[in-house]
């Protein structure tokens, strides 16, 4: 994968392989925090310990803030899906990324590896950053993955969660690049 910040503030990903495309297309599923309580609590934490909240504060949090957060999360994922509709096959590419990812998973040798490109408009970069962050937080909560320590890779392999660690790490690296090169440079 090659990353480029364009002069108009857009971000261009080139040389995306089938797994990269699969991971980006999986963002809505990976970021789905509604499937388990731990993920939801990670993304929608309590405002403060219940002993420090008045009933009005707790009700305002649930009535006003939580729905706004949910709407923001959904909006970020909608931006990702909108941009993914513009995925381009690079010249000389051989196959659809979904077919390639499936073939690779089955150990089949197929056509020459295809590569893809994607342009993210400047006004969508923050939405991508937030969607990746949401997915990263859900992956962390659901699978005990974090950047501070190497996970038990054998356990991840045994449970079928090793790919989640790779996806988590991809999001960490891309977020770091976005902050360093795109968002901070303004």
- At 18-39, the pLDDT tens digits run 999 999 999 999 999 887 888 8
- At 78-104, the pLDDT tens digits run 999 999 999 999 986 555 556 555 555
CA angle 90, 21, 169 (to 5 degrees): 125
The 3 state secondary structure assigned to 103-162 is HHHCCCCCCCCCCEEEEECHHHHHHHHHHHHHHHHHHHHHHCCCCCCCCCHHHHHHHCCH
pTM for the predicted model, two decimal places: 0.80
């Amino acid at each position: 994968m090659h990353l480029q910040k364009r002069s108009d503030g857009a971000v261009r990903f080139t040389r995306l392989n089938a797994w990269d495309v699969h991971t980006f297309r999986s963002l809505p599923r990976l970021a789905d925090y509604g499937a388990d309580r731990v993920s939801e609590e990670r993304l929608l934490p309590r405002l403060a310990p219940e002993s420090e909240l008045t009933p009005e504060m707790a009700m305002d949090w649930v009535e006003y803030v939580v729905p706004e957060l949910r709407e923001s999360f959904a909006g970020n994922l909608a931006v990702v899906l909108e941009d993914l509709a513009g995925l381009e096959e690079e010249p000389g590419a051989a196959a659809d990324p979904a077919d390639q990812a499936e073939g690779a998973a089955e150990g089949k040798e197929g056509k020459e590896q295809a590569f893809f490109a994607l342009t993210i408009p400047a006004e969508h970069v923050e939405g991508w950053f937030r969607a990746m962050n949401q997915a990263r937080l859900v992956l962390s909560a659901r699978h005990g993955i974090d950047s501070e320590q190497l996970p038990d890779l054998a356990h991840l392999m045994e449970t079928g969660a090793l790919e989640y660690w790779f996806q988590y790490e991809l999001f960490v690296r891309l977020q770091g690049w976005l902050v360093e090169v795109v968002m901070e440079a303004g």
